[in-house]
Structure 1
Amino acid sequence: MVISGGGTGGHLYPAIAVCQALLAEGHTKLAYVGHPDKAEAQKIPALGIPFYGVRSSGMPRGRGWLAPFRLALWVWAMAAAVLKAYGVLYRLNPRVVFATGGYTTAPVILAALLQRRPYVVHEPDARPGLVNLKLASYAAAVTCAFEAAKQRLGNTNTHVTGNPLRGDIGQIAKADGINRLGLGFDPGKPVLLVVGGSQGAARINQAVVAAVDQLTHRHGLQVLHQTGDQHGQAVMDAIGHQPALAQNPAYKVLPFIEDMSAALAAADVAVCRAGSMTLSEMIQANVPMVLVPYPYAAGDHQRKNAQTAVEQGVALMIEDAALDADRLISVLDELLENDAVGLHQMKAACKDLARPDAAGQVVALIQSIAHSE
C-alpha cells in the first residue's frame, strides 16, 4: 500500500494515524510519498516506513500580468512531479493508494489514475480542498470527517468516518484532577487550553495575554498557553512588562506543548484556530472550543469548519478581526456562567460526535479495496 499526504498538519496527521493503524494490524509492505521539504520527510521514516519525496506546490491563484507565466511554470512543475510519482508507483506496484488531499497528493493521485490503480481519498475539512474536489469522483472510495463535505465530493462510495487520530490522541482518558496536577495546576480548578496551531497565532496570543488576569480571577480558570515558536518571544516580552502576570501561578506559557495528549486530557475548554485536526482532537478529548478561524486559509476552509462545529453544538466562534480581550472574556463568560451550563452542554455534544475508531474504519475500507483487486 502507498500512503500520501502532507504539506500541512491537517493532511499529514490523518495519514500518520492510518499508517499507525496499518502497522498495528501487521501490514509491513507500506510506502509513503510526500514532499521532501515538509514535516512528513522526518516523521514518516521515524515510523519505519520507506519515504519517497516528490516535490509539488499548490496552484498559483494570483492575478496580474505575471499570472499566466506562473501558471505555466506550475503546470510544467506538476507534470514533472506526476512523472516522478508515476515512476515510484510503477516500481512499488501497490494494490491500493491512500491519500489525504492537498497539493502534495495531487501528483500521486494523478499517477494512480494514469496506471488505473485504485485509490482512496480522505477529506479532513468541512469544505473540500481543490485536489479532492477534482479527483474524488474517480476514487474507489472516499472517506471524510464531516457530513457537510460528503455531498460535495461527487462519489457514491463516500463514508463519514471522522478524522483518523494518532494513537496518543485517540485514546485520551479524562481524569481531570490527576491530569491537571500532572501539569502543575490546582486539581480542583478548570483549565483553559490556548493553542493557535504549531506555529501559534499572534492575534490569539495578544488577546489572551490581555485577558489572562481577568480570566484567572473571574472563573478561577487556569490557563495553559501554547504561543507557537514564532511568537514565543513576543508573548514573553509582553508578560515581562506585567510583573503580576509573570508571577500568576494559574498561567503557564510554552512555545510548544510537547505532550498535547496530556494537555487535552486536562483541558475543560479551549481557544484555538479551526483546523480540521484541531477540531477532531478537541472533540475526541471532550473539550468545547472557542474557535478563531484563520482568515487566510485556502478556500476559507477554517471558517466552514468553525461554522460546522458551532452548528454541531461543540463550539462558539469569534472572527479573527473581532478578537480582543473584551470579546474573549465575554464569550468565555457565556460558557462558564450559571454553573457552566453552556460548557456542560457542549461537552455532551462532544461525546456524541467523537469517533475514536475513525482510523480503524478507514483501514478496513482500504483493506477491502486492496483485497477486491
Structure 2
Amino acid sequence: MKNIVLAVGGTGGHIYPAIALAHSFNALSPDCGVHIFGAAGGAEERIARREGIAFRPVRAVRLPGKKVSAGALRLPLTLAGAVSGARAQLRAAGATHVIGFGGYVSFPTVMAARLLGLPVYLQEQNTAMGKSNRLMSRLARRVFISFENTEGAPAGKCVLTGNPSRFEDTEIPSKSQAREQLGLDPERATLFIFGGSQGAVAINEAAVRFAQRHRERADWQALHLAGPGNDEDLRKQYESALGSGAGYRVKVEAYLHEMHLAYAAADLAVCRAGATTIAELMCQGVPSVLVPYPYAAENHQEKNARYLCARNAAEMILNRELDRLDGVAAPLLEDKQKLDAMSRAARALYRRGAARLIVQTVCGDQG
C-alpha cells in the first residue's frame, strides 16, 4: 500500500492544489493513503480537516535571504530540528512517497524523505520556480510544472501537468443561477473582488473608490471578499461612499467557501495573481484585472499576471497604480464582446486532468 504525503504550507496557493490532488488520489487509487503535512494551527490544518484528509503537523523553516542575520546563523540547528521532526512524522504515517508543494514546510519534509530513501516529487504552481522548490529540485525524481517554460525548472525532470484545480470536476451553475445562490441580482453585471485567502487592503480601498464613482449604476453590482476580520469595516466604508439611494450594489463577505459560485457569477474579477487564483480563473474562464501582490517572493505574481495578459486572458494593474482601476474595469464591464473573448482565452489556457496525470505518474513510477 502506498502512503502519499503532500507537504504544503502557508497560503491557499499551496494548499488548494494539494487538496485537489488528495481527492484525486482517493478517487483514482483508493488503496493509497493520503496525508497532508503542514504547520500546526495553520490554514492547511483547518482546510485538511474540513476536507476529511489526514493531517500531521511539521515545523516550518524560513529560508534566509542573502543578508547575514541571526536567523541565517541559526539555520543549521533550526533545520536539523525540523528535519528530525518531519522524519518522525513520515515514519509514523508509513510514508512511501512525498510530494512537496513549495514553501517553508515543504523543505524540511522533503529533506527528511530523502534521508529515509523515499521518492520525492515536487509540484510548482507558478510560472517561475520558488526558492524552496529550486533548492529541492535536485532531490526530486520528477517536478510537475503548471506552465510551459517555467522559469528555473530543472531540465530532464519536468512533467507539464498544469495546476490542479479543486473545481475542475465541480458542476458549475449558470451565471444567473450562481448569482441567485449568492443572494445577488441575477440580471446585473457582476464584479467579483477579492485579494486571496487573506484579503488585500489596497484592493479593498480601490474598490470602494470605484463604487463611489459608479454609485448611479443600477445595472452593476459587486461581490467583495474582504478577508478575515476586514468585512465589517469594509461594509462601513461602502456605506459611507455610496450613501443612500445608490444604484450600485455591493455584497461584502469575509470569506467564501463556495468560490466556484463566485467565479460563475462574475463577469469580471479583480484580484491578486497567485497561482491558485490564476488556475481557478482559467478553469472557469473568468476575465480578470490582476493586481499582483508587490511583495511576493521573486515577484512571481507579476510574472503570473504577465503570462495571462500576453495571451489576452487578463489585464494587469500594479499595486501602486490602483487608481487606474476605474479606467480599466469600467470599460471592460461595458464591453461584453471583449469579456467573452477574454473568457475564451482564459479557458483555453487551463490544462484539464492535472491531478489525474500526477496521480498516474506517481503510482506508475517504480521504486
SS class of match (1:256): coil
Q: Which position in structure 2 is the counterpart of 1:275?
A: 274
SS class of match (1:274): coil
Q: Which position in structure 2 is the counterpart of 1:134?
A: 135
1:41 aligns with 2:45: yes
The two structures have a TM-score, normalised by structure 1, of: 0.90
User: How far off is 1:215 after superposition?
Assistant: 4.2
User: How far off is 1:243 after superposition?
Assistant: 5.2
Per-residue CA deviations over 1:10-46 (Å, capped at 9, x if unaligned) read 1111111111111123145223322113122232234
User: How far off is 1:368 after superposition?
Assistant: 1.2
Query: Structure 2 regions of 5+ residues with no counterpart?
Result: none
Distance between the aligned counterparts of 2:351 and 2:70, measured in 1? 45
Q: Which position in structure 2 is the counterpart of 1:7?
A: 10
Q: Which position in structure 2 is the counterpart of 1:160?
A: 160
User: How far off is 1:214 after superposition?
Assistant: 3.9
Distance 1:358 1:186, change over 3 A: same
Q: Which position in structure 2 is the counterpart of 1:180?
A: 179
Q: Which position in structure 1 is the counterpart of 2:25?
A: 22
SS class of match (1:44): helix
Distance between the aligned counterparts of 1:220 and 1:355, measured in 2? 34
SS class of match (2:193): strand
User: How far off is 1:62 after superposition?
Assistant: 7.1
User: How far off is 1:340 after superposition?
Assistant: 2.6
Query: Which amino acid is 1:254 matched to?
Result: E
User: How far off is 1:117 after superposition?
Assistant: 1.6
Q: Which position in structure 1 is the counterpart of 2:357?
A: 361
Distance 1:157 1:227, change over 3 A: same
1:298 aligns with 2:297: yes
Residues 67-86 of structure 1 aligned to structure 2 (within 5 Å): 67-86=68-87
SS class of match (2:33): coil
Q: Would you say the 8 A contact 1:95–1:117 is kept in 2?
A: yes
Distance 1:347 1:110, change over 3 A: same
Query: Structure 1 regions of 5+ residues with no counterpart?
Result: none
Identical amino acids, percent of aligned pairs: 33
Distance between the aligned counterparts of 2:218 and 2:342, measured in 1? 18
Q: Which position in structure 1 is the counterpart of 2:97?
A: 96
Q: Would you say the 8 A contact 1:196–1:228 is kept in 2?
A: yes
Per-residue CA deviations over 1:155-185 (Å, capped at 9, x if unaligned) read 413122221122x464252512222222233
Query: Which amino acid is 1:7 matched to?
Result: G
Q: Which position in structure 1 is the counterpart of 2:197?
A: 198
Distance between the aligned counterparts of 1:39 and 1:172, measured in 2? 25
Q: Would you say the 8 A contact 2:228–2:254 is kept in 1?
A: yes
SS class of match (1:271): strand
Q: Which position in structure 2 is the counterpart of 1:241?
A: 240
Distance between the aligned counterparts of 1:177 and 1:307, measured in 2? 31
Query: Which amino acid is 1:153 matched to?
Result: A
SS class of match (1:84): helix
Distance between the aligned counterparts of 1:68 and 1:183, measured in 2? 49
Query: Which amino acid is 1:40 matched to?
Result: E
Distance between the aligned counterparts of 1:91 and 1:252, measured in 2? 46
User: How far off is 1:194 after superposition?
Assistant: 0.3
**Stretch deviating more after TM superposition (95-104 or 83-92):** 83-92
Per-residue CA deviations over 1:182-229 (Å, capped at 9, x if unaligned) read 223332332110001122111111111111144465693221111112
Q: Which position in structure 2 is the counterpart of 1:227?
A: 226
Distance 1:62 1:227, change over 3 A: farther
User: How far off is 1:148 after superposition?
Assistant: 3.7
Q: What is the count of residue pairs matched by the alignment?
A: 363
SS class of match (2:243): helix
SS class of match (1:147): coil
1:330 aligns with 2:327: yes
Q: Would you say the 8 A contact 1:239–1:245 is kept in 2?
A: no
Q: Would you say the 8 A contact 2:195–2:272 is kept in 1?
A: yes
**Stretch deviating more after TM superposition (227-236 or 139-148):** 227-236
SS class of match (2:77): helix
Residues 209-224 of structure 1 aligned to structure 2 (within 5 Å): 209-215=208-214, 217=216, 220-224=219-223
Distance between the aligned counterparts of 2:98 and 2:226, measured in 1? 37
Distance between the aligned counterparts of 1:116 and 1:68, measured in 2? 33
SS class of match (1:30): strand
SS class of match (2:64): coil
User: How far off is 1:336 after superposition?
Assistant: 3.7
SS class of match (1:2): strand
Query: Which amino acid is 1:50 matched to?
Result: A
Distance between the aligned counterparts of 2:126 and 2:215, measured in 1? 33
User: How far off is 1:137 after superposition?
Assistant: 3.3
Distance between the aligned counterparts of 1:142 and 1:127, measured in 2? 13
Distance between the aligned counterparts of 2:9 and 2:275, measured in 1? 14
Distance 1:10 1:246, change over 3 A: farther
User: How far off is 1:233 after superposition?
Assistant: 3.2
Q: Would you say the 8 A contact 1:314–1:350 is kept in 2?
A: yes
Distance between the aligned counterparts of 1:311 and 1:303, measured in 2? 12
SS class of match (2:61): coil
Q: Which position in structure 1 is the counterpart of 2:341?
A: 345
Distance 1:92 1:196, change over 3 A: closer
Distance between the aligned counterparts of 2:148 and 2:219, measured in 1? 37
